[in-house]
């Protein structure tokens, strides 16, 4: 059932603050429609349909799943199919759970730099995604992120679950427990120019933090990688408790970004602490 106000194409995108389902407010009309008709699932894409967002019923309304949550749903579906061979891949700023999905299902795993071009370069790729709502569920036919094929798979999952009386929320919770999923998040600061971005990177590189939330840190300089990843600007902080934080400049705008993974209970606290590192 379509969102009536958004059926007809309009390049000015008057019904949303920004035409990307990642952005706050972009799915508000879809949420309202879903509440009105009692929908079980919301499917949303960006204008060129290479990104996919899913919305599901939750207590008090509807919520958009995080990119890593959708990635977990699709990855488990792919891994459960006997025909799936090859390698699963995601970016360094995406959930570590994908590696466990691959390992538990006898599949190879590879981590890449941020950007879908890197994921698509993985040899023998069978499934790839990044947390920014980009998914490749059929790389042999669609050699890039594709919201349409990913949406079809999501619909297939939802349809099968509905026949057993299981909700997507319940299914997702079981997968999180099975694969040890922990949420990821991003914080950032916008500055006036790229010179200020470079100054933040220089400060952090010359004097990286030694602890966060009372946990010691092992600092990985991404510009001098020890593994197979190509060099890139930024740092990865490995906390002693298993959390990680990546600090990196934006490649497209005057912003400095931080990505992190931790427990649900600690998410907001760690975001606050990491933001202090950037300012």
Give the CA radius of gyration of the chain. Answer: 19
For residues 146 and 207, state if they share a domain. Answer: no
Domain end residue (candidates: 17, 42, 64) = 64
- Cα 107 from Cα 85, distance rounded (Å): 7
Are 67 and 129 in contact by the 8 Å Cβ rule? The answer is: yes
Whole-structure pTM value: 0.94
Kindly give the pairing relationship between strand 87-91 and strand 125-130. Answer: parallel
- DSSP H or E segment with residue 67: helix 67-79
Q: What is the pLDDT of residue 252?
A: 85
Q: What CATH number corresponds to the domain at position 259?
A: 3.30.310.50
Q: What is the pLDDT of residue 258?
A: 97
For residues 199 and 151, state if they share a domain. Answer: no
Domain that residue 33 falls in = 4-64
Q: What is the pLDDT of residue 227?
A: 81
Domain end residue (candidates: 64, 89, 104) = 64
Could you give the C-alpha distances from 56 to 151, 162, 172, 197, 258, in angstroms and in order? Answer: 14, 13, 11, 37, 27
Domain end residue (candidates: 47, 64, 81) = 64
Q: Is the dihedral of CA 248, 251, 255, 260 positive or negative?
A: negative
For residues 154 and 96, state if they share a domain. Answer: yes
For residues 219 and 264, state if they share a domain. Answer: yes
Q: What is the pLDDT of residue 32?
A: 95
For residues 200 and 127, state if they share a domain. Answer: no
Q: How many domains does the chain have?
A: 3
Q: What is the pLDDT of residue 66?
A: 96
- Cα 93 from Cα 219, distance rounded (Å): 16
- Cα 125 from Cα 118, distance rounded (Å): 11
Percent of the chain as helix, strand, coil, to the nearest 5: 35, 25, 40
For residues 92 and 44, state if they share a domain. Answer: no
Q: What is the pLDDT of residue 60?
A: 84
For residues 90 and 155, state if they share a domain. Answer: yes
Q: Would you give the DSSP letter of residue 231? A: P
Q: What CATH number corresponds to the domain at position 99?
A: 3.40.120.10
For residues 76 and 147, state if they share a domain. Answer: yes
Q: What is the pLDDT of residue 135?
A: 98
| pLDDT of the chain, 279 residues: tens digit per residue | 999 999 999 999 999 989 999 999 999 999 999 999 999 999 999 999 999 999 999 988 899 999 999 999 999 999 999 899 999 999 999 999 999 999 999 999 999 999 999 999 999 999 999 999 999 999 999 999 999 999 999 999 999 999 999 999 999 999 999 999 999 999 999 999 999 999 999 999 999 999 999 999 999 999 998 888 999 999 999 999 999 999 999 888 899 999 999 999 999 999 999 999 998
- Cα 52 from Cα 80, distance rounded (Å): 21
For residues 101 and 162, state if they share a domain. Answer: yes
């Amino acid at each position: 059932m379509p969102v009536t106000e958004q059926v007809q194409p309009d390049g000015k995108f008057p019904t949303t603050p920004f035409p990307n389902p990642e952005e706050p407010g972009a799915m508000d009309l879809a949420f309202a429609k879903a509440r009105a008709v009692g929908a079980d699932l919301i499917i949303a894409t960006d204008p060129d349909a290479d990104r996919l967002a899913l919305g599901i019923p939750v207590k008090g309304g509807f919520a958009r799943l995080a990119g890593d949550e959708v990635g977990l749903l699709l990855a488990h579906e792919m891994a459960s199919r006997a025909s799936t061979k090859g390698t699963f891949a995601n970016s360094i700023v995406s959930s570590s759970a994908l590696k466990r999905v691959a390992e538990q299902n006898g599949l190879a795993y590879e981590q890449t730099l941020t950007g879908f071009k890197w994921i698509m370069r993985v040899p023998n790729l069978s499934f790839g995604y990044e947390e920014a709502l980009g998914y490749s569920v059929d790389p042999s036919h669609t050699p890039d992120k594709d919201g349409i094929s990913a949406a079809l798979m999501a619909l297939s999952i939802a349809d099968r679950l509905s026949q057993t009386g299981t909700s997507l929320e319940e299914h997702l919770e079981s997968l999180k427990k099975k694969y040890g999923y922990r949420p990821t998040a991003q914080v950032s600061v916008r500055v006036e120019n790229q010179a200020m971005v470079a100054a933040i990177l220089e400060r952090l590189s010359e004097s990286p933090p030694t602890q966060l939330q009372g946990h010691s840190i092992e600092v990985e300089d991404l510009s001098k990688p020890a593994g197979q990843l190509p060099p890139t600007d930024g740092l990865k902080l490995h906390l002693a408790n298993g959390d990680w934080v990546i600090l990196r400049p934006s490649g497209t705008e005057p912003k400095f970004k931080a990505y992190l993974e931790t427990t649900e209970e600690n998410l907001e606290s760690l975001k606050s602490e990491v933001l202090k590192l950037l300012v």
